[in-house]
Structure 1
Amino acid sequence: MSTARLIKSDDVAADRAASPRRQGRVTRFYSRPSSQWWPPLVVFAILVGLWYLTALYYDKTVQLPYLIPYPHLVLTEFYGDPNFTPLLYADLLNTTQVALTGLVFAIIIGVGWATLMSLAKWIERSLYPYAVILQCIPILALVPLIGSLFGYEFLSRVIVATIIAIFPMVSSTLFGLQSVDRSQRELFELQGAGRVTTLAKLRFPAAMPSIFLGLRNAAGLSVVGAIVGDLFFQRGTPGLGVLIQVANARLNGPGTFAAIIIASLLGITVFLFFGWLARMVVGKWYDFG
């Protein structure tokens, strides 16, 4: 009986000694770049194949090839069309300027709004409903009013982008400022720290993960706001929204898809940039994925 127990104990010890090595192999496998990138690439290849099949159906059966153009024709619009490619990148620059300007205003207003509400419950009860109302109002209903009040050019586009992007900044910042541990707040109060000191040295550092999460969401929404504003404000310097409308009106399927894709890539780029910035700033104590 004792010999069997010794054998079992030796097996357990061997398993425990080998388990770190197995875990290390598993960790190394999942940390390889290939294991992270090949699944999205496979899905991308499947989507491109489905796109080709759909384009073939609309070309040969429906005989409306401009509705769903072939992917290689869309790709040509990014670099090979002398009449369309310069317009694409010029309008991309204009949309980027509107989106980033609206994002800056959304950050300033949103963080200030949330900070003010975090100072007292009665301030939060007084102001937070208006943030919800601003989020719930259909932006398309406000666009004509914004155009009548502020014109139909750059300023109105920025206002639309700001309105769409502001709520994630308000809600995420307020959540972060209010999620500070109660014992830490009491410790600051015992040390005689005022509201400004508590905000600067406790609440804002603790709220940084939530603020960056809201910033990442607001960054993508600001691009959406810039496109929406551009679709309705036809005057002034055009952006990708105007280009999408013009290409669609001219039955330029490849150009329409190229403008839509590059608008999506702009939103993804801004989203990924602020995700990277969040990992650089607060990645040591918070995992953004």
Structure 2
Amino acid sequence: MIEAIVGIVGAVIGGAVGLTAALIARRSATHQSQTGYRAALEQADSTYRAALDQARAQALAGHRQWRREAQRDAYAAFIIATGNLHRMAEPDSRPPDGVVDDIVSALIDTESAFAVVQLEGPQNLVDLAEAVVAHCRRITHAITRDAPAHRARILLDAALASDDANSMARARAASNALYAFGVAVARRAYGDAAPSYTDSDQAPAAAMSARACLVERSVAAQRALQAVDGMTPTQIRALLEVTERDERGAGSELLTDHQQLARTTRAFVDAARIFLDSVTEDGPGLSAG
């Protein structure tokens, strides 16, 4: 009887031990499986993040390259437009007719190109470009204002070279009267430092007051210019105004604007080159501020 009980107890204990071992083994296997699963998930997540970072880096690099090319094209278009205007505005390059329309068209192209530079930035380049445009506007205004005088000089030169003796004589008289007007302006502006008259018939003007001389010579020049074939009142008035500005020294303003336009354009080109060649943490050519 006792042996039977012992046997049953042993069997129960053995079964319990076996069941415990099986449970432990199963739990261990489950833990290993979960650990492997988590490792696989972590590896997959790491791979995904690396791929995502790479895709973002490639997209950012592509965007930077696109922005850089857009900015370079904007700067190049602006430089070309201002260069065209500058060349057309050079005194030796200006055609006798149609100059105003050409210059105004070139200014419109320059301002259109400047608008794109404003969009692309950065601000230091926008400021330099704005200075360039300001000189372009002043040059265009001066040429537009003086276009009638430019045409009047062409008419006067043509009449001086005419085969018609009467036309040539009238043109010579107008040219001399215009010169005398210029001398009167200089005398009025500079006093004794002004050039003196050289012709004997102009000598009495030296005894006149500077103001009276200027008025008298202005009227004489207008009358003489009216006798030149094809000369209009607008052209005569413009020619006298230009002559007066030149004699007073104000005519050099256009030359100064040409020089300043060349300097500011060079400054813009240098700054644009530095900006496009620069590399920062944000990437080249991205800043618009």
Q: Normalized against structure 2, the TM-score is what?
A: 0.24
Q: TM-score, normalised by structure 1?
A: 0.24
